[in-house]
Structure 1
Amino acid sequence: MEVLSPESQQAHPQACGYTVRHAVIAMLRELGMTKIFGNPGSTELPLFRDYPEDFSYVLGLQEAVVVGMADGYAQATRNASFVNLHSAAGVGHAMANIFTAFKNRTPMVITAGQQARSLLQFDPFLHSAQAAELPKPYVKWSCEPARAEDVPQALARAYYIAMQEPRGPVLVSIPADDWDRAAEPIAVRHVGFESRANPQTLELIGQALESAQAPAFVVGAAVDRGQAWDAVVALAERHQARVFVAPMSGRCSFPEDHRLFAGFLPAMRESIVQHLDGHDVVFAVGAAAFTYHVEGEGPHIPEGTRLYQLIEDPAIAAWAPVGTAAVGNIRMGVEELLARAPGAEAGRAAPRARPVPETPAPPAPGERMSVAYAMHTLTQVRDEHSIIVEEAPSSRPVIQTHLPIFHSATFYTMCSGGLGHSMPAAVGVALAQPRAKVIAVIGDGSAMYSIQALWSAAQLGLAITFVILKNRRYAALQDFSRVFGYREGEKVEGTELPDLDFVALARGQGCDAVHVEQAHELEAVLRKALLHERPMLVEVEVA
């Protein structure tokens, strides 16, 4: 693609043949968005003609894989990713992971190809009848520009909205014939994406923490997402506060070997109240208060406890059933609380330490290893700075116990509960962090939602270790069935997964793979896999 000088572009854009495609490519380059994640269709092809050499196209074999990779990449780079999908069908395929990106608060600019404008009145093949409406409500903003020459400005607006806290995906539908229309260059502007919380509300939070007898923090994904990890650790240490992880958090936001770490809250009202009992002040920082998965009754917090919240999302602050909420950037808010002069908290005694989990026993002869044993073994052999990308919902409590996370930006999962995110997200994280070791811990049921991610990992030559926990069932549904009145041992239809061979599936897509059934073999296999210079899948038979 010919590169025109900015002066020539500004002075004679039409005479120089300056088009929508030129304007968009130049803008993406300036924003650092030179990777395009996609699975192309016919209406997307005009964007890729004369493709610039400094750009790369990250191909996924299904649109949900595309969005999952872009999600991991955006989270790990902390910049919006650029996604290119195909009209209604492609966006439809991608919707599960668009939903997850929305819940993850992942900044993402999604473009969807549309048929040529002159065809739209005839209801053409593979068009999107209401393109801007299709992804709602799980995008922050969407549009189909009224004119071709408006496309670059619409994409600039989309980027700024995606990056504004609370961050999230946006979508712009672009007719195929727009890319070659004349356009003006876009001047990339500086836009502040974070806002400070109200000082008066932070004052109330500061006073409450200083006067508390036994404070507790509940940390959520926004702490790590907003680069507030160190500040939250310092604030917890100042107040000698026990620190819990919020239910369904997609990031680790506190070192799990810290003396103040108290564990993970379940997504059940009564259990949360039980865990927080004895704390007179609870500070939910970067977390909803609270995310529930099943119906409950009674109070949302223990009797006599006061709840305070710092969150970047005003919608979350609005639906919180109790408490005082400050809305604003997490890091800025916590740093302002740290800047307060020390008060009565200075002499507060440290809370009791969390019990150290017992080392899982190896299986008896003839039995499969437990997930606890597998995760404990992985913990023993991995570097603590390696990055874990997890999607094994039925095993999550065990994983949380036996695969602790110690450092910022070293854990990712989905905040949505939707399957099919983390296998491709691991590919995106590895692309963004080429010097880090990425380990994807995936359930066998979850893996089948986006198994094509293995092909992308192989084609990109990423040294990811995929650990598949193979229990041959949708265990989360079987375990959850009792909530809905199933009897012990009663069959749950559609939850058995026999005859899946992940070694064959991996090798068929270009990845190396190995099957492990014997517990005594696991450590050596994992050590070898973690040193492998290409993607490696380890299929682990678990009870």
Structure 2
Amino acid sequence: MSLDGLQIGRPAETFGTTVRGAVMELLQQLGLTTIFGNPGSTELPMFRDLPDCFRYVLGLQESVVVAMADGFAQASGGAALVNLHSSAGVGHAMGNLFTAFRNGTPLVITAGQQARSMLPYAPFLHAERATELPRPFVKWAVEPARAQDVPQAIAQAYQVAMQAPRGPTFVSIPIDDWEQPARPVAVTRVSTRAAPDPAALAEAAATIAKASRVAIVAGTGVAANGARDGLLALVERLGAAVWIAPMAARNPFPEDHPLFCGFLPASREAIVQRLADADCILVLGAPVFTYHVEGSGPFVPPGAALIQIGDDPAQAARVPQGQGIVADLALALPALADLVPVRSREAAPSRGQAAAPTASMLTDALLMARLAALRPAGIAIIEEAPSTRGPMHDHLPMLAGDEFHTCASGGLGHGLPAAIGVALARPGEPVLCLLGDGSAMYAIQGIWCAAHYAADVRFVIVNNGGYAALDQFGALFGLKAVGSKMPGLDFVALAEAQGVPGECVSDPSDLDRALTALFAGAGPRLLEVIVTREGGDPHADDHALEEHRGEAL
């Protein structure tokens, strides 16, 4: 039996009466037996005589560690345990800690601290104001007042991480606490799924019933709450058009569904333009709205009703008008479907059909189209290729199931190690990691982890010679970006030096053969694809402009 990822009723081993023994017993009961870390001197006592039921997953830099744990937690549906090294390690991890926070990923993060008796003298490697460093990107942070409080602090960190909206928590632990005497702590069974307020849901249903044209905007929270089936049933009942929210980090809705309309750009004016035909807008599992550029004017089309439902009270508080409802979508959507009238399906607004890419030149659009044709059914895709996202939307649809993960924060260095975490959580299921060349270099040492742990990840590096998204964004300001070129990188050599076989392809006639070989057998494997925008996809720059500015093609 499980409750929000907690394994209930499983007997735990007894590891002794020290802080370490009590913590290990607690972690086993919580199911946190995979530890992602990069250990330092202040963490070593935690792992003295590490029990055989635990697995330690080493990352070669702390940002890699956190991103692997992020992917693992998302794929497993529970929390993941991370161990970092004092201030320096937490500092290295901050970029991907920010991403985990924006992803809503439940992580229990522990970090070492120098011995308590040394702290008044500012010793080497101590963490000054340890709980302040990871803020504001953790939900809760503590350095326990006594060694005996460490097990209870970790128990509380787990419960807070798993509470909606989920996210990281942090516990700083002095090095000398582990050997101190302590008693085991009880595992509290906490239900964190909030049902919707019936009166608020009835009000929302009445608003929807009066509307003529309902548009649904679906975001990451649909997937995080396990509510895809509920969304699909509601859409079918309402016959409503479905858009994916700006910067959504998961796939909430099948992109081959006849009512799927496309992706909203992160621009206020463009969102209003896309939703202009709707007189009721229902936002599910997403903010209203995420913007990337400054805008003005109304937040929704004039006269349109706005309803937002999600499990994050802060998102509800920021709803600029209309109604916000705080609830778990897996509970809210079936209840809402029971209250709204059945409507005949209307034709969804035309999304437009992207032109088939030419096979005469190897562009990122051609690569996406061939990946769509040759990928194994149901393979999970982890993406961090910003300049390729437009062609991916056009030519590589995400279908039913938990297929897609990306970075919700806009930072880089998450995708490569997150893909390894997803693979470790789903042994026997291959993973496709789609990276830009610039993105890959933020966490390239993660390839060693893929080799060392035999993670079945197929890495595809889209090599366009630099930070193409930066060049595209520079066009908005009428300037040429500086520092955007990255010549001379050899990703096959980088992969093979870390134990992962690789191949490079630059001729479009070789692409299908290379992709077929990539997906054959077991991974990890890497394919570097040299793509060009010169004379290739005529909309390569337009996609970036639409993503960042929202102008129609």
TM interval, short-chain normalised: over 0.9
- Is the Cα contact below 8 Å between 1:83 and 1:110 reproduced in 2? yes
Partner of 1:97: 96
Partner of 2:6: none
484, 492, 497: which one aligns with 1:503: 492
1:349 Cα shift? 3.4
Amino acid at match of 1:462: A
- CA displacement 1:436-493 (0-9 Å, x = unmatched): 210000000000111111000000011210000000111111111133x234xx3x11
Amino acid at match of 1:539: E
Amino acid at match of 2:493: A
Query: Where do residues 373-388 of structure 1 align in structure 2 (5 Å cutoff)?
Result: 373-388=366-381
Tell me whether 1:456 sits opposite 2:445 in the alignment.
no
Structure 1: segments with no counterpart, 5+ residues: 10-15
Tell me, in whole angstroms, the C-alpha distance in 2 between the residues paired with 1:411 and 1:251.
Answer: 5
1:527 Cα shift? 1.0
- Is the Cα contact below 8 Å between 2:67 and 2:414 reproduced in 1? yes
Partner of 1:12: none
Query: Where do residues 52-201 of structure 1 align in structure 2 (5 Å cutoff)?
Result: 52-201=51-200
Secondary structure, in 3 states, of the residue corresponding to 1:333?
Answer: helix
Partner of 2:33: 34
Deviates more, 1:351-360 or 1:44-53: 351-360
- CA displacement 1:367-407 (0-9 Å, x = unmatched): xx111100100111012300000001111111111111112
Tell me, in whole angstroms, the C-alpha distance in 2 between the residues paired with 1:179 and 1:397.
Answer: 50
Tell me, in whole angstroms, the C-alpha distance in 2 between the residues paired with 1:18 and 1:118.
Answer: 22
Secondary structure, in 3 states, of the residue corresponding to 1:184?
Answer: coil
488, 509, 516: which one aligns with 2:505: 516
| Number of aligned residue pairs | 523
- CA displacement 1:280-332 (0-9 Å, x = unmatched): 10100011110000001111111111111001111111122222110111111
Secondary structure, in 3 states, of the residue corresponding to 2:217?
Answer: strand
Tell me, in whole angstroms, the C-alpha distance in 2 between the residues paired with 1:541 and 1:153.
Answer: 52
- Is the Cα contact below 8 Å between 1:242 and 1:262 reproduced in 2? yes
Tell me, in whole angstroms, the C-alpha distance in 1 between the residues paired with 2:284 and 2:51.
Answer: 43
- Is the Cα contact below 8 Å between 1:91 and 1:112 reproduced in 2? yes
Query: Where do residues 18-417 of structure 1 align in structure 2 (5 Å cutoff)?
Result: 18-340=17-339, 343=341, 345-347=342-344, 349-352=346-349, 354-364=351-361, 369-417=362-410
Secondary structure, in 3 states, of the residue corresponding to 2:343?
Answer: helix
Tell me, in whole angstroms, the C-alpha distance in 2 between the residues paired with 1:7 and 1:512.
Answer: 41
Partner of 1:13: none
Partner of 2:427: 434
Tell me, in whole angstroms, the C-alpha distance in 2 between the residues paired with 1:411 and 1:306.
Answer: 30
Tell me whether 1:541 sits opposite 2:521 in the alignment.
no
Partner of 2:519: 530
Deviates more, 1:48-57 or 1:197-206: 197-206
1:355 Cα shift? 3.6
- CA displacement 1:219-273 (0-9 Å, x = unmatched): 0000011000010011011101000000000000000000010000000111101
Amino acid at match of 1:468: I
Amino acid at match of 1:23: A
1:351 Cα shift? 3.1
- CA displacement 1:155-186 (0-9 Å, x = unmatched): 00000000000000000000011111111101
Q: RMSD in angstroms over aligned alpha carbons?
A: 1.6
Secondary structure, in 3 states, of the residue corresponding to 1:172?
Answer: strand
1:6 Cα shift? 8.6
Tell me, in whole angstroms, the C-alpha distance in 2 between the residues paired with 1:414 and 1:471.
Answer: 20
1:112 Cα shift? 0.4
Amino acid at match of 2:145: A
- Is the Cα contact below 8 Å between 1:39 and 1:61 reproduced in 2? yes
- Is the Cα contact below 8 Å between 1:104 and 1:416 reproduced in 2? yes
1:363 Cα shift? 2.7
Amino acid at match of 1:313: D
1:533 Cα shift? 1.7
Secondary structure, in 3 states, of the residue corresponding to 1:110?
Answer: strand
Tell me, in whole angstroms, the C-alpha distance in 1 between the residues paired with 2:292 and 2:23.
Answer: 42
Amino acid at match of 2:388: S
TM-score, normalised to structure 1's length? Answer: 0.94
- CA displacement 1:178-235 (0-9 Å, x = unmatched): 1111111011111011111222211121112222211110000000110000100110
- Is the Cα contact below 8 Å between 2:16 and 2:22 reproduced in 1? no
Partner of 1:421: 414
- Is the Cα contact below 8 Å between 1:259 and 1:353 reproduced in 2? no
Tell me whether 1:469 sits opposite 2:462 in the alignment.
yes
Secondary structure, in 3 states, of the residue corresponding to 2:529?
Answer: strand
Amino acid at match of 1:421: H
Secondary structure, in 3 states, of the residue corresponding to 1:230?
Answer: helix
- Is the Cα contact below 8 Å between 1:259 and 1:354 reproduced in 2? no
Tell me, in whole angstroms, the C-alpha distance in 2 between the residues paired with 1:462 and 1:7.
Answer: 28
What percent of counterpart residues are identical?
A: 49
1:346 Cα shift? 3.0
- Is the Cα contact below 8 Å between 1:242 and 1:260 reproduced in 2? yes
Secondary structure, in 3 states, of the residue corresponding to 1:37?
Answer: strand
- Is the Cα contact below 8 Å between 1:215 and 1:282 reproduced in 2? yes
- Is the Cα contact below 8 Å between 1:286 and 1:330 reproduced in 2? yes
- Is the Cα contact below 8 Å between 1:17 and 1:182 reproduced in 2? no
- Is the Cα contact below 8 Å between 1:210 and 1:239 reproduced in 2? no
- Is the Cα contact below 8 Å between 1:465 and 1:535 reproduced in 2? yes
- Is the Cα contact below 8 Å between 1:260 and 1:353 reproduced in 2? no
Amino acid at match of 2:191: G
Structure 2: segments with no counterpart, 5+ residues: 1-9, 533-553
Partner of 1:486: 478
Amino acid at match of 1:435: G
- Is the Cα contact below 8 Å between 1:224 and 1:408 reproduced in 2? no
- CA displacement 1:46-89 (0-9 Å, x = unmatched): 01110111111000000000000000000001111000000000
1:534 Cα shift? 2.8
Partner of 1:447: 440
Change (3 A) 1:8 1:461: closer
- Is the Cα contact below 8 Å between 2:12 and 2:28 reproduced in 1? no
Amino acid at match of 1:362: A
1:409 Cα shift? 1.3
Tell me, in whole angstroms, the C-alpha distance in 1 between the residues paired with 2:458 and 2:11.
Answer: 44
- Is the Cα contact below 8 Å between 2:99 and 2:409 reproduced in 1? yes
Change (3 A) 1:226 1:278: same
Secondary structure, in 3 states, of the residue corresponding to 1:346?
Answer: coil
